[in-house]
Structure formats: structure tokens, C-alpha cells
Amino acid sequence: MVATVPAPPEAGHTIRAVVHLRIVAPNAACRHVLDLLENSESAFNIVHFEGVARKPDGDLVLADVARKDVSLLVADLRELDVDVDGSIAIEEVDAEISKISEDAFRHRRDDFGSDPVVWENVSSRTSENVELSYSYLIFMTAAMLIASVGIYFNQPILIVGAMVVGPDFGPIAGVCVAIVNRSRKLVRRSAAALFIGFLVGTVVTYLMTLLLREVGQIPETINFDSHSLVRFISNPDFFSVYVALAAGVVGMLSLTTAKSSALVGVLISVATVPAASNIGVAAAYTDWATAWGATAQLMLNLTSIFVAGLLTLTLQRRIYMRRRRIHLSDGARGPAGLPIGQSRRADIDPDQEPAAE
């Protein structure tokens, strides 16, 4: 008997750029929700459960949407007040195996301004990462203490490890997102988390350096100029800014396009945590020239990341707003009871909705 090997699945039917929406809406509004989804070329696998939702009472609608159009549809749903009277949950789909989804994706992928940003997810991620919590302070302090050991003994591997452990990119991204969304509250939260995190970590590193030197675990004196392998963290130059600008762009893209693997490289490439740690170490050794150099490195890195991240996010936002303006003329809005060519919420929320042309 000869065993037969099944043929591999046909290539091209697995789509990854798909997001799952779970919508709870009052029964009266759910008809418009279904009309919107059914007439949208980006939505498929639509499922409707009537009267199953409790608190709030209403209908449950499930749908898969091509990732690049998720924010456009969510904005339409918000015009229907689904976010007020019900709820909208957004879930990433690792893989969608479906000929229908492939056709929907193929139809939409060549549209103007291919922009896979799901803005609701960006806001959610940054809000989670800017909380000034005990765990955040522990991570920041631990990262600086790891970096300090690398500084004591001229060990770059520990500097790299500290860069990976440091949680500082979350608040940095939070400030950029908050500025673009014009959220003063989030700006204050992000800036406070960043400032207090660096301050606490630097002070603890300073005190631990004094303690370790007192008990004889580290040298009585350190010639920082002779530490050639880690000297870059206190000697800013053109390439400090160059690398930080590039890292800011990549970091923001990794946040907005859900490519988290790239974020590790960003953390490794920018010496923010090691520079802050070096301030505490140099201050403990009263080497003020090195401390000022590390301070300059930290300020240059943070400023460069902020500028690059903000410019990247602003450009992505402008692309989305242009696509949103075009989408307002989509015929799928009419059957759902939405005005064609303008948004109901443009006057209420002008920062999130474009004005009618």
C-alpha cells in the first residue's frame, strides 16, 4: 500500500492584514450597523445575534475587516453613536484562511494611500504604556542598575541589556500620540512618567554606586575616558542624533503598524537609559564633565526621538485624514443613514474628523 501525501494548501488564501470587530449596539441602531457593514467592500464574515447582549441590552454583530480600513469603519460606527450606546471591540487576527477575505483584501489593497494604521489600537497601546506605576519604576530602575554595572566594568553587553529592559519608549510614544491627537491629559501623563522614571532611576543608581564603592565592590576611582567600549553614552556627536532620528521613525512605525519585532532594535540602538544611568554613576564619582556629557546625550536622544516620532505620526495622520475625507463619499454610508460627503461629528470633534470639502 502506497501512502499518499496530501497536497499543500493552495498559496495565497491566508490573509494576515485582517482585524475582527465585535460590536454591541441597541436593536434600533443595529439595522444601520448591518447596512454599513454589508455595503462595505472591506467587511466580510458578518454575523448578527439579535437580542443576545446584556448591559447594555442590544444586538451583537461580529465582522472581519481589512486592516487598512478599520479606522474608517470605526469612525462611521461612532457617527452612529455605537460607542455611546453600545461598544466596539477591536481584535487582531493572526491569520484568516478564506477566499472571500482574500478577494476583499485584494480589492482594497491598491487604494490610494495604503495605510495599515489602526488608530484606535495605537491610542490603546500608548495609554497602557504611560502609566506611572510601581512596575514601570522597577523596570526603569533595574535597567539603569544593569547599565551601571556595564559602565563600572566597561561591558557593552550589559549596556545593550539595559536598553532592552528600559520601558522609556512607551511614554515617549505616548507624548507623540497625545500631541497628534491633541490630548493634553495624555501629554501630562506621558511626560510625568518619563521624567519621574528617569529621575528615580538616576537617583537610585547614584546611591547604589556610593554604596558599592563604600563596600569595595567597585573601584575607588574610574577613568571614564579609558572605557572605550561604553564611552559613547557620555560623548554625544552627530551620529547620536542621526541614529536617534532613524530610531524614532522606526519606533513609531513599529507602534502604528503592529510590527513589534522592530521595536527591540529601536531600544537597542538608542542610549537613553544608559545615558541616564551614567549621570548617576559619574555624579557619584564627582566626574562632572562625564555627567554633563551623559546629560547632553540623554537630551539629544530624547529630543531626536520625539521629533522623528512626531513627524512620522503626523504624516501618517495626514494620510488617514485624507483617506477619511475620501471615504465620506463612499456609497456604503447612505444605506446606513449617514450623510454623504461629511461627518456628523465634524463639528463636535474636528481633530478626529475632517471638515466637508
User: What's 181's domain CATH number?
Assistant: 1.20.1080
Cα 324 to chain centroid distance, Å, stands at 21
- What is the chain's mean pLDDT, rounded? 86
Burial of 110 (0-12, 13-18, 19+ CB in 10 A): exposed
Among the three residues 50, 81, 111, which one is the final residue of a domain in this structure?
A: 111
- Whether residue 334 is contained in a domain is answered as no
160: pLDDT strictly greater than 70: yes
Residues 23, 155 within the same domain:
no
Mean pLDDT on 221-228: 87
Which pLDDT score, from 0 to 100, does residue 97 have?
78
Q: What is the dihedral of CA 270, 276, 281, 286, to 10 degrees?
A: 120
Q: Classify residue 345: in a domain, yes or no.
A: no
- Four-CA torsion 185, 186, 192, 193, nearest 10 degrees: 150
Q: 155 lies in a domain? A: yes
Q: Which three cell numbers stand for residue 345?
A: 461629528
How confident is the model over 91-118, as a mean pLDDT? 66
CB 309 within 8 A of CB 252: yes
pLDDT of residue 85: 92
Write down the pLDDT at residue 169: 87
218 in a structural domain: yes
Shared domain for 82 and 152, answered yes or no, is no
**Whether 189 and 82 share a structural domain:** no
- Other C-beta atoms closer than 10 Å to the C-beta of 304 total 20
- pLDDT interval class at 104 (50, 70, 90): low
**Are 290 and 226 in a shared domain?**
yes
Instruction: Encode 59-94: b = buried (16+ Cβ within 10 Å), e = exposed.
Output: bbbbbbbbbbbbbbbbbbbbbbebeeebebebeeee
Share of the chain above pLDDT 70, in %: 86
Residue 57 located in a structural domain:
yes
pLDDT bucket at 270, cuts 50 / 70 / 90: confident
Indicate whether 264 and 302 sit together in one domain. yes
- Whether 50 is in a domain gets the answer yes
Helix axes 272-284 and 156-165, enclosed angle (nearest 10): 120
pLDDT for the residue 184: 87
The number of domains in the chain is: 2
* Domain termination residue (choose one: 111, 141, 158): 111
pLDDT at position 119: 85
44 and 164 inside one domain: no
Decide if 348 is inside a domain: no
| Contact assessment for residue 168 and residue 272, using Cβ atoms and an 8 Å cutoff | yes
CATH code of 61's domain: 3.30.70.260
Residues 250 and 312 in one domain: yes
Cell of 68: 487598512
- How far is 315 from 35, CA to CA, in rounded Å? 32
The DSSP-derived string for 66-96 is EGGGHHHHHHHHHHTTHHHHSEEEEEEES-E
Residue 195 has pLDDT above 50, yes or no: yes
Give the tens place of pLDDT for each residue, 284-305: 999 999 999 999 999 999 999 9
Give 270's DSSP letter.
-
Same domain, 41 and 154: no
Say if residue 206 is in the same domain as residue 276: yes
Provide the phi-psi class of 350: left if phi over 0, else alpha when psi is between -120 and 50, else beta: alpha
What is the per-residue pLDDT for 113? Answer: 45
Alpha-carbon distance of 86 to 29, in angstroms, equals: 10
| 286 shares a domain with 184 | yes
- Residue recorded with cell 503626523: 314
Output the pLDDT for position 262: 55
Residues 13-39: tens digit of each pLDDT: 555 578 999 999 999 899 999 999 999
Parent domain of 83:
15-111
Q: Count Cβ atoms below 10 Å from residue 320 Cβ, excluding itself.
A: 20
Based on the fold, state whether residues 188 and 300 are members of the same structural domain.
Answer: yes
The CA distance from 233 to 40, in Å, is: 52
353 within domain boundaries: no
- Of 11-20, 168-177, 190-199, 243-252, the range with the highest mean pLDDT is 190-199
Same domain, 45 and 167: no
